[in-house]
A and B are shown apart, each in its own frame.
Chain A
C-alpha cells in the first residue's frame, strides 16, 4: 500500500515535471525527492534504518543507508487520510489515546505490517520521550538492533563531547550492520552539500523575511524538518536552490499579492498533516504564515575536519533540543526578524515536548508583543476535528490583530 502510494507520487510528479521542464517547480521537485525516499524505504534495495527526528541523515546517507524518521510515516498516513485506521489499530491494541498521534499512527502501521522492516533502528532523545519509546517498541517488535543518541539539553562542553562520542559510536554501529566502514571522503562531501544547502536555506529564509514576503501559506510547510532528510546530498542542494529561485522569481515578477499579507504570523512547531484548509482560511483572512518555528538555520557550518563535533553541535542547536527559555528566545528573534503580528500554536495533543509549555510560549511571545492563538488541535488525528470551532477562533484572532 505505502509502496504504491510513494510510487504513484514519484511517477505522477515526475510526469508533471517533464511536461513543464522550464519552470522552477520547487515544490514539485521537493515532493519528488521526498517521495523517492519513501519509495526506497519500501523497495529495500539498500540498508534501511528507522530513526528519530534529529538523527544526522547526512551521515547515514554518506554510509549508504536509506533512513527516515518514523514521524514522517505518521505524517504521510495522515496526509493520505488513512491515519485514523492505524491510530485505531494502535488504540485497540492498548496504546493510549493520550499519546502523540504521530506515534500512534506509526505503531498502528507497524501492527498492521505496513512499516517496512528495517535493518536497524536509531532513536534519539530529542525531540521527545514518546518518540524514543516508539523506537524501542519497534526494535522489540522487529527484533532489530537498537542504538540511541542521547541529546543532552545542557549545551556544555561535556554535553557536546558526550554527543560527539555517541555519533562516532553510531558510525561503528552502522558499519557493523552494513559491513561498510565510514568513508571520510564521502562524509566530507555530504557535509559540503549540507553546508551548501544551509547557505541557500539562509538565503531562502532571508527572502521570506521581506515585506511583503514572497512565501505563501503552504510553500515552506514543515520544510525545516523534512529537508534535513536530503540536505547532505546534491539533490538537497538543488532543491534548496529551486526554492530560492522560486522566491526570487516571485519577487522579480511581482507575483506577490500584498492583500494576502495584512497580518504576518509564525506557525509554532509542526503543521496540520491531514487535509484541512487552514492555510486557505488564513489566506482568506489576509493572514500569511511568513515563518514556521523550525524553519531556521540554527547551526554553524559543518567542519569536515571535525565532522562529528560539528554534527553534535548542530543537533543540540535545533529548537526542540533546547530548554524552553532558549526556545522562546529563538522565537522572539524570529518575531523581530520577520516583523510578526501574531503566532499560531496548534497545541498538538499528546506532545509534552512542545505543547507542554503552551503557557510559557504564549507569555514569551507576548513579551515581544506577539499574541499567540493556541488552537487545541491534533495535527495527525483528524477524527475529533471541530472545524467550525477552529474557524470561529481564527476569525476572532484575526479581528483582534486587526
Chain B
C-alpha cells in the first residue's frame, strides 16, 4: 500500500493516474482551522475553496506531500497554483491545462496532459511508467464507481436515512486514502438490506463543493431526501472511465472526464448552456420535487450559469433554491430556515 501522498484540488485530476504512479491521492479539501492569511497573496474576491486550501498550505495544515497536482480549471484555480509556488517554494507542483470545450481536439490535448502527468509523477516517485498498472487502477476505479453508482441508484428510488452521509464518506475516502480502501467500505453497503423510509422531500442537489458527510445528516433532519447529486466532491468525482480498447488509454481517460456531466467550467460548444438542461434532466430522472444549488461564493463558472439554470427549472415548474456559502458545515447551519421552508413547500 503506497504511503507517499500526492495532493490535488480538482476533480479533473484523475485518481487512477496518481495511484498508477505508486502514490496515494490526497485531496486538499478547503476545510481548516488555520487562520485566514491567504489574503496576503490572493484577493478576497477569490472563492473560499481556493483561499482555504491556500490557508492550509501557508499554515502547514497538510500531511507530508510528495507533490501537488493543479488543474487549470478556472482563473481561481490557476491563481492558486501560482500562489502555492510562492507559499511552498520547495514543493513539486504540476499544472495541467484543461480545455474548456469537449471537442475531439480538446480531448486529444487533455490525453497528452494526462500522459504528462503520469510521466511526471513516475519521475517524482522514481518508478517506470506502466500502462498495465494504469489499466489495473482504472479497473479498480471503475469498480468503485459502479458500486457507488448502485448506491446512488438506490438513493434515487428510496430514502434511506444516513445513507447519503455514508456514500459521501466513501467518496472522501477514495480522494484521501485511495480507491481500494473506499471500495472495501462501499462493498459493505447493501441498500437492499436497509429499510427505506417515507415522508422526506426528494431533492436534486448540485454545485461545486459539498463534502462534509455531516451536512447530509443535517439535510435529512431538515426533511430532505437527497435523491441525486452533482458535485465535484460527489457524483462527478467518481466518474467511471469508458475504456475503449481501440483508443489510447489516456484518450479514454480524457474523454471520460470531458464528457461526464460537466462541471460549470466545461462547455459543450454544440449546445451552449447544456448544463441547465442536464440539471433539469437529472432532477426529473430522480423524481426530485425540487432542486437546490450550493455554490461557494465568487465561483465564476457557477455565478454565470445560475441564471440559465434557474430559467430552465422555471420552465419546467421545478422549484429551485440557491444557496451560496463557503461549503462548510458551519455555514450550512445558517441556511436551516431557508432549506426547511423549501422542503416544506415541496409538500410530500
Contact = CB atoms under 8 A, between A and B. Distances in A.
B105 A166 contact: yes
A93 B307 contact: yes
A159 B105 CA distance: 12
Contact of A137 (B46, B78, B105, B308): B308
B267 A136 contact: yes
Chain B interface, >50% SS class: helix
Q: How large is the interface on B (under 10, 10 to 19, 20 to 34, 35 or more residues)?
A: 35 or more
A140 B82 contact: no
Contacts of A360: 41-42, 82-83, 86
Interface in B140-184: none
Contacts of A152: 72, 97, 109
A74 to B, nearest CB: 14
Interface residues of A, number: 48
Contact of A94 (B74, B76, B310): B310
Nearest to B305: A133
Interface in A53-77: none
Contacts of A154: 95, 97
Given A125-B100, A325-B82, A98 B298 contact: yes
A98 B297 contact: yes
Contact of A153 (B47, B72, B116): B72
A159 B97 contact: yes
A165 interface: yes
A349 B44 CA distance: 10
A357 B101 contact: no
A359 B272 contact: no
A162 to B, nearest CB: 4
Contact of A129 (B40, B75, B273): B75
Given A125-B100, A323-B82, A133 B306 contact: no
Contacts of B287: none
B333 interface: no
B315 to A, nearest CB: 13
A140 B272 contact: yes
Contacts of B72: 152-153
Contacts of A355: 43, 45
B303 interface: yes
A24 interface: no
A356 B305 CA distance: 21
A159 to B, nearest CB: 7
Interface stretch (A142-150, A248-256, A264-272): A142-150
B325 interface: no
Given A146-B272, A162-B99, A356-B46, 16 more contacts: A94-B310, A132-B267, A136-B267, A140-B272, A140-B273, A147-B269, A148-B267, A150-B97, A150-B100, A152-B72, A162-B109, A166-B105, A324-B83, A325-B82, A352-B79, A358-B42
Interface of B: 39-43, 45-47, 72, 74-76, 78-79, 81-83, 85-86, 95, 97, 99-101, 105-106, 109, 112, 116, 264-265, 267, 269, 272-273, 297-298, 300-301, 303-308, 310
26 contacts: A95-B303, A98-B45, A129-B76, A129-B265, A129-B300, A132-B100, A137-B273, A140-B272, A146-B272, A150-B99, A150-B101, A152-B72, A153-B97, A158-B112, A158-B116, A323-B95, A324-B79, A325-B82, A347-B43, A350-B45, A352-B74, A353-B79, A357-B79, A357-B83, A360-B82, A363-B41
Query: Nearest 4 CB-CB pairs, A to B?
Result: A133-B304, A140-B273, A324-B82, A139-B272
Interface of A: 93-96, 98-99, 103, 123, 125, 128-130, 132-134, 136-137, 139-140, 146-148, 150, 152-154, 158-159, 162, 165-166, 169, 323-325, 347, 349-353, 355-360, 363
